[in-house]
Structure 1
C-alpha cells in the first residue's frame, strides 16, 4: 500500500467523496466556481486518457481539505464501513438521468456511478483489498 491514510481514514475519505458527489456537502463559492471546470477535465482524463484504470492514476496527489482525513484519529471503522456500504448502494440504485454537485457540475448518472466506483476501487487497490 502507499500513502499516509490508515484504513479507517481511507474509508472515511471515500464516504466524504460520495457526500460531495451527492451534493450533501457544498464547497466555498470560489471552489464551487472553479471545480466544474477542473471536474470536466478530470472526467475527460478518467474516461479517455486512463480509461478508469486505477493503475494509471497518480499516487499521493494532494486533495481538497474536506477530503483529507489524514489528521483525523479515533475513527469508528465499523460505522464508517457500514456508511460506505449504504452510500455505494445509493449510488448503484440511483435512477435519475443526471446528478449535479459542486465538484463536477452536472454529470450523467452513468458517469456519476463510474467515477464513484473508480475512486472507491482505487483506494481498495491501494490497501490491497482487491
Structure 2
C-alpha cells in the first residue's frame, strides 16, 4: 500500500497535483477543483497538529466509526461520492494556484514526520499508528486526484 511517507509515493502525488489545472472537472461529486484542493488540506492539517476539530461524538457513533476505521487505510480504494464531515466541507476558497501551493506545503510537512510516534488523536477515529496515518493520507489524496482525472 502506498504511503505519503514513501518518497516515491509523495512525489507521484505532487506530480499528479501539478497535472491539474483551473479547468479540471470532477468525474463525480460536487466539489470544484479549488474546493477539492482546500478540502484535501484539512485532514493533513489535523495530522500535522495544525487543526484541532471540536467534535462531540456519541457512544453509538463511536462504535460504528470503530468498525469503519480499517477502511481508512486498507488497500481498497474509497468508493465514489462518499460524504464528508461538515468540518471538511469547503464553501469559500482562494485562487487555484494558492490552494495547490498550500496543499503541496502541507503534504511536504506531513511527509517529514515519518519518524513521529506521538500523533494527534483523529477527531472521529481516535488513534492511528504512523503507518496508518501515511496510508490514510495517501489514500485520501489518491481518491480526490482520481476524482479529478489525474
Give the Cα–Cα distance (whole angstroms) in 2 for the partners of residues 85 and 41 of structure 1: 31
8 Å Cα contact 1:13-1:67 kept in structure 2? yes
8 Å Cα contact 1:39-1:105 kept in structure 2? no
The CA deviation at 1:86 is: 1.3
User: After the TM superposition, which residues 29-108 of structure 1 pair with which residues of structure 2 at under 5 Å, given as runs?
Assistant: 29-31=55-57, 40-47=66-73, 51-54=74-77, 57-69=78-90, 71-72=91-92, 74-94=93-113, 95-101=115-121, 102-108=123-129
Q: Which runs of 4+ in 1 moved over 6 A?
A: 32-36
Structure 1: gaps of 5 or more residues: none
Q: Could you tell me the TM-score, scaled by structure 1's length? A: 0.77
RMSD (Å) for aligned C-alpha atoms: 2.5
Distance change in 2, residues 1:68/1:29 (3 Å): closer
Provide Cα deviations, 1:15-69, integer angstroms capped at 9, x if missing partner.
012122333222224149888655543331244xxx3332xx2222222111111
More helix by share: 1
